[in-house]
Amino acid sequence: LQRGGKPSAFDRILASRYGVAAVRMATQGMFGMMASLQGTEISAVPIAAAIKELKTVPPDGELVRTAQSIGINFGA
């Protein structure tokens, strides 16, 4: 996950939650898994399931326009 701009308190807490989950999975031998935010909970998801299907963002869609309006740069 990468977000633009200055990290908020939410961003810092979320990063810590991802880190704790990743360490927990590694120490429990849960390799091939990734930490995923589902609703308000962090859960372990198989990486294969996460990348099974290509999910794209329309370049002219609302999400990209919103990101650009707050200063997120997509290169070029």
Helix, strand, coil fractions of the chain, as percent rounded to 5: 40, 15, 45
State the pTM of this model: 0.67
Higher pLDDT, 3 or 47: 47
For tokens 């990063």, name the residue.
15
Question: What are the sequence ranges of the domains in the chain?
Answer: 9-69
Q: What is the pLDDT of residues 48-60, one digit of tens each?
A: 998 899 888 899 9
Cβ atoms 4, 64 nearer than 8 A: no
Do the Cβ atoms of 17 and 42 come closer than 8 Å? Answer: yes
- pLDDT at position 27, please? 98
